[in-house]
Amino acid sequence: MVESVEQHYGNDGIVDRIVGALTQSGFDMENLDPDVLAGADEFHIGGREGTVHVASAINLADGDALLDVGCGIGGAARYLAHTTGASVTGVDLTPEFIEAAIKLSDLVGMGGQVDFKVGSATDLPFMDNMFDAVTMLHVGMNIEDKNQLMRELARVCRSQGTVVIYDVTATGTDDLPYPMPWSSTSEFSFPEPVGTYEEAAAAAGLEHLGSSDHYDLALKFFNEPPATPPPVSLGHLMGPRMLEMRDNAADAVNQKLISPVLMTFRVS
Ligand SMILES: C[S@@+](CC[C@H](N)C(=O)[O-])C[C@H]1O[C@@H](n2cnc3c(N)ncnc32)[C@H](O)[C@@H]1O
């Protein structure tokens, strides 16, 4: 049987694994710094460094309302709320991830600044113009209909608001090795060249402000692991199958088949 997207990502015991690892490393669970979770809660190429690029492109002000689409267990949402004072809502298709996002936010004392909801990026459970800005990190590779995706991101963001996408784009034509971190098979895997996103965005009324390719960050992320491993990792998020997925993603990057690109748009 082919897994759905939610089945690929969803798994039990995420928070228990993370809390167990942190407890074993001696962290005080009553006073946990949200940054300690970064190895496990930033499920995109470059980890925290990728999120910092998104943060500098989004230009949020204190009190702004931000939507993070495909928020996973909420790492980028917490970082953006923590560093900008924005009130951040995360939405994700995978119920286990949303449950973990809520529990982890409470654990680090951020439950009042971030809010999470199960929902689909192609049918967002929000009214028109509700947010000052929208982010989406490493989600479009799971979504075939980029036109519908872009229409939804544009719809929920107010006029002149910013939409920042940091996604895995296709930069080669050879088949990808599976399982990849975002899909066990090619069935739910739709990386596209950056031009496909830009065309879909233009059709949705989004003005393109710029795109930057972060291939160097991808090479560093996969080929130069930190000398001291972080206390928690994507293995705690996804379980032991993460090792093979990570190796396949590393091969795809090293063969120049994929690259993470940051795209910035303004709603007209
Ligand atoms: C690679 S993870 C990235 C998670 C998070 N953005 C991050 O960077 O840590 C991809 C996420 O996209 C979510 N996702 C995939 N397709 C989606 C869709 N159609 N609507 C909402 N979320 C989706 C998955 O459930 C998963 O949490």
Which of 81, 144, 153, 154 shows the shortest CA–CA distance to 115? 81
Give me the pLDDT at residue 2, please. Answer: 57
Rounded Cα distance, 75 and 122, in Å? 22
Q: Tell how far the Cα of 70 is from the centroid of ligand 1, in angstroms.
A: 4
DSSP 36: G
Span 135-155, pLDDT tens digits: 999 999 999 999 999 999 999
Q: What residues does 162 pair with on adjacent strands?
A: 133, 266
> Is the predicted pLDDT of residue 112 greater than 60, yes or no?
yes
Q: What is the pTM of this model?
A: 0.98
Give me the pLDDT at residue 59, please. Answer: 85
Q: Tell how far the Cα of 26 is from the centroid of ligand 1, in angstroms.
A: 31
pLDDT bracket for residue 3 (50, 70, 90): confident
Rounded Cα distance, 26 and 6, in Å? 33
Structural domain harbouring 151:
5-267
Average pLDDT score over the chain: 97
Give me the pLDDT at residue 88, please. Answer: 98
- Pocket probe mutation, ligand 1, options 6, 93, 135, max atoms within 8 Å of Cβ: 93
Q: Are 67 and 87 in contact, with CB atoms under 8 Å apart?
A: no
DSSP 12: T
What residues line ligand 1, using a CB cutoff of 6 Å?
5, 9, 42-44, 70-72, 75-76, 92-94, 97, 120-122, 137-139, 142-143, 181-182
240: CATH: 3.40.50.150
SS3 assignment, position 207: strand
Span 198-256, pLDDT tens digits: 999 999 999 999 999 999 999 999 999 999 999 999 999 999 999 999 999 999 999 99
Q: How far apart are the first and last CA of the chain?
A: 43
Residue 77: its H or E element: helix 75-84
- Pocket probe mutation, ligand 1, options 142, 188, 233, max atoms within 8 Å of Cβ: 142
| Number of domains observed in the structure of the chain | 1
Q: Tell how far the Cα of 207 is from the centroid of ligand 1, in angstroms.
A: 24
With both helix axes pointing from N to C terminus, report the angle between 146-156 and 194-203 in degrees, rounded to the nearest 10.
50
Average pLDDT over residues 39-58: 97
Q: Tell how far the Cα of 138 is from the centroid of ligand 1, in angstroms.
A: 7
Rounded Cα distance, 172 and 61, in Å? 38
Q: Between the CA of residue 99 and those of 50, 51, 156, 222, what are the distances in Å?
A: 24, 21, 23, 29
Atom of ligand 1 lying closest to residue 6 CA:
25
Atom of ligand 1 lying closest to residue 119 CA:
21
> Is the predicted pLDDT of residue 1 greater than 70, yes or no?
no
Q: Tell how far the Cα of 6 is from the centroid of ligand 1, in angstroms.
A: 9
Closest residue (by CA) to atom 16 of ligand 1? 142
Q: Tell how far the Cα of 67 is from the centroid of ligand 1, in angstroms.
A: 13
